[in-house]
């Protein structure tokens, strides 16, 4: 069963922004979305892992960069 972490209810605080431009260019941001999770049974395990390292990341790279690290961001650019 394949699914995104958002579909599995990974977090209630998840916010999503998607912006598509003419000719296929665009960007997507899934804040706190646990990227690279495509199977529902991995969601609790990944949430436990990211929760365990979050304080260390906040101290090491700052709150904003730590949030970017644990989120899913993508961009497509066509000439």
10-65 pLDDT per residue, tens: 444 556 667 777 777 888 777 776 666 666 677 777 778 878 888 899 999 999 88
The model's pTM is 0.53
The pLDDT value recorded for residue 35 is 61
Q: Which of the pair, 12 or 69, is modelled with greater confidence?
A: 69
CA distance 29 to 11: 15
CA distance 1 to 45: 16
Measured CA angle at 71 (ends 70, 72), to 5 deg: 135
Q: Which stretch of DSSP H or E encloses residue 10?
A: none
What's the pLDDT band for 3 if we cut at 50, 70, 90? very low
């Amino acid at each position: 069963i394949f699914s995104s972490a958002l579909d599995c209810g990974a977090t209630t605080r998840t916010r999503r922004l998607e912006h598509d431009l003419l000719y296929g260019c665009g960007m997507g941001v899934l804040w706190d979305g646990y990227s690279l999770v495509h199977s529902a049974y991995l969601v609790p395990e990944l949430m436990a892992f990211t929760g365990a390292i979050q304080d260390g990341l906040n101290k090491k790279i700052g709150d904003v960069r730590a949030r970017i690290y644990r989120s899913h961001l993508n961009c497509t650019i066509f000439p």
